[in-house]
């Protein structure tokens, strides 16, 4: 069968929109000609479907006039972009169905890691308020008090603890268990060691849940006769599905909320507090980070305001555990992976560890 003859024939039918022949107007898509059959797709804009119904019929009739063709099929389709599988096309007034996969799925059963005496989570509603800084320095302060301490970096959105402790290592499997990395005497495990960061960014609760399971069951935090006194967990910022799953999955003895003194951060800290209330996790206290900056003359400059976190703590009925100043050395320590052991900031963390040891 001669394709060109078929296209010429289809050009004898006029496209009502452009006034040109159908083939010339580019409306003949996927022409197939074989074994006495002819067919193609007539792709038009969604709103033009009715307008082209007659064109479709005319095209089929025309094809049937060709010698050797006894079946003709022209499929009229709308050329709008296909909707990806699972997506919902939203128009004004359209209803959007709930995405089953995105639902939080209670009940989640909480689990405790083997050979760990106490688990404390460090949380904040907001990112960048110093949660990881508090987690690292609190862990070191507990260690200065003679405790054996583990640090679990569960921040799927930005695992930064390996950088803050200056370690870049691959944990090894030994006897079927992951060995935590030794960093400044702390036992460290980071979600960043186990999963691709870009993949973790788009996690949903069920994935966070299975990562936490791994952290609980596949890591040898401590030996049988030599339990870890305390495991500090750096949670991802926010109060979404992932955070909720993490705190539901891991048996927590309590949570510490970190906030800067400004209202914007406090609003999110309040959300974090209500997330813990929802899961029955005790809030151990609030840390006011970046509380002030002391200049060379010794004057305290309250960059983010002052006392907001203290007020929040008393509203929640929990202690204010520390007021950590803005400290250049503390920031440098985080960036270079050489944590501080002395100075005003370190002392604030020592007091915090003491308060949490009562």
Ligand X SMILES: Nc1ncnc2c1ncn2[C@@H]1O[C@H](COP(=O)(O)OP(=O)(O)O)[C@@H](O)[C@H]1O
Residues interacting with ligand X, by CB under 6 A? 124, 127-133, 160, 237, 289-290, 324, 326-327, 330-331, 334
Q: Of 140, 145, 224, 154, whose CA–CA distance to 187 is shortest?
A: 140
CB 131, min distance to ligand X, A: 3
- Cβ-based nearer residue to ligand X, 103 or 294: 294
Secondary structure (3-state) at 151: strand
Q: What are phi and psi of 164, to 5 degrees?
A: -65, -25
Query: How many residues lie near Mg ion (CB under 5 A)?
Result: 4
Nearest residue (CB) to ligand X, 126 versus 220: 126
Say which residues have a Cβ less than 8 Å from residue 295's Cβ, sequence separation at least 6: 301
> What letter does residue 48 receive in the DSSP assignment?
G
CB of 304 to Mg ion, least distance (A): 18
The site partner of 324 among Mg ion, ligand X, none (C-beta below 5 to 8 Å per kind) is ligand X
State in angstroms the smallest separation of the CB of 297 from Mg ion: 32
User: CA torsion, points 278, 280, 355, 258, in degrees to nearest 10?
Assistant: -20
131 or 220: CB nearest Mg ion? 131
Q: Of Mg ion, ligand X, none, which one does residue 133 interact with (CB within 5 to 8 Å by kind)? A: ligand X
- In angstroms, give the least distance from the CB of 180 to ligand X: 20
CA 13 to chain centre: 55
Closest separation in Å from C-beta 135 to ligand X: 7
Residue 254 binding result from Mg ion, ligand X, none, given CB thresholds of 5 to 8 Å by partner type: none
163 binds Mg ion per the rule CB under 5 A:
no
Determine how many CB atoms are found less than 10 A away from the CB of residue 224: 7
Shortest distance (Å) from residue 94 CB to Mg ion: 38
Stretch that binds Mg ion, among 127-135, 248-256, 277-285, 325-333 (CB under 5 A): 127-135
Q: Which is nearer to ligand X, 21 or 238 (CB)?
A: 238
The residues, ordered by sequence, that sit 6+ positions from 33 with a Cβ below 8 Å of its Cβ are 1, 3, 6, 69
124, 132, 239, 281: which one binds Mg ion (CB under 5 A): 132
C-alpha dist (Å) from residue 285 to 59, 149, 162, 288, 313 = 76, 20, 25, 10, 7
Contact between 234 and 129 under an 8 Å Cβ cutoff? The reply is no
Contact 286, 266 (CB under 8 A): no
Measured from the CB atom, the residue of 221 and 292 that comes closer to ligand X is 292
* Short-list 309, 256, 17, CA closest to 141: 256
Nearer to ligand X, 162 or 237 (CB): 237
The minimum distance between CB 215 and ligand X, in angstroms, equals: 18
Residue nearest to Mg ion (CB): 132
Contacts of 36 (CB under 8 A, 6+ apart): 68, 69, 70, 71
By the criterion CB under 5 A, which residues form the site for Mg ion? 131-132, 155, 160
């Amino acid at each position: 069968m001669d394709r060109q003859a078929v296209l010429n024939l289809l050009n004898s039918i006029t496209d009502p929109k452009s006034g040109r022949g159908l083939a010339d107007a580019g409306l003949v898509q996927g022409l197939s000609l074989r074994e006495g059959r002819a067919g193609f797709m007539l792709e038009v804009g969604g709103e033009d479907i009715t307008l082209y119904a007659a064109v479709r019929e005319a095209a089929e009739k025309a094809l049937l006039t060709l010698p050797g063709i006894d079946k003709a099929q022209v499929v009229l389709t709308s050329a709008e972009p296909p909707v990806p599988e699972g997506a919902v096309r939203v128009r004004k007034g359209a209803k959007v169905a709930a995405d089953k996969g995105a639902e939080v799925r209670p009940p989640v059963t909480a689990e405790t890691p083997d050979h760990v005496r106490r688990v404390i989570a460090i949380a904040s509603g907001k990112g960048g308020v110093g949660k990881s800084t508090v987690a690292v320095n609190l862990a070191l302060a507990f260690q200065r008090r003679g405790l054996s301490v583990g640090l679990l970096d569960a921040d799927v959105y930005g695992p930064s603890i390996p950088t803050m402790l200056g370690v870049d290592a691959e944990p090894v499997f030994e006897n079927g268990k992951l060995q935590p990395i030794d960093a400044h005497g702390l036992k460290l495990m980071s979600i960043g060691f186990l999963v691709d960061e870009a993949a973790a960014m788009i996690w949903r609760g069920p994935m966070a849940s299975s990562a936490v399971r791994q952290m609980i069951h596949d890591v040898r935090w401590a030996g049988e006769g030599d339990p870890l006194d305390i495991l500090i967990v750096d949670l991802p910022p926010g109060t979404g599905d992932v955070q909720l799953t993490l705190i539901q999955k891991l048996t927590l003895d309590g949570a510490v909320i970190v906030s800067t003194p400004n209202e914007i951060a406090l609003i999110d800290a309040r959300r974090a507090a209500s997330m813990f209330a929802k899961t029955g996790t005790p809030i151990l206290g609030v840390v006011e980070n970046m509380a002030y900056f002391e200049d060379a003359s010794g004057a305290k400059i309250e960059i983010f305001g002052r006392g907001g976190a203290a007020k929040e703590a008393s509203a929640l009925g929990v202690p204010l555990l520390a007021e950590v100043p803005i400290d250049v050395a503390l920031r440098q320590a985080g960036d270079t992976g050489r944590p501080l052991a002395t100075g005003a900031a370190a002392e604030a963390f020592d007091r915090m560890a003491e308060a949490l040891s009562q």
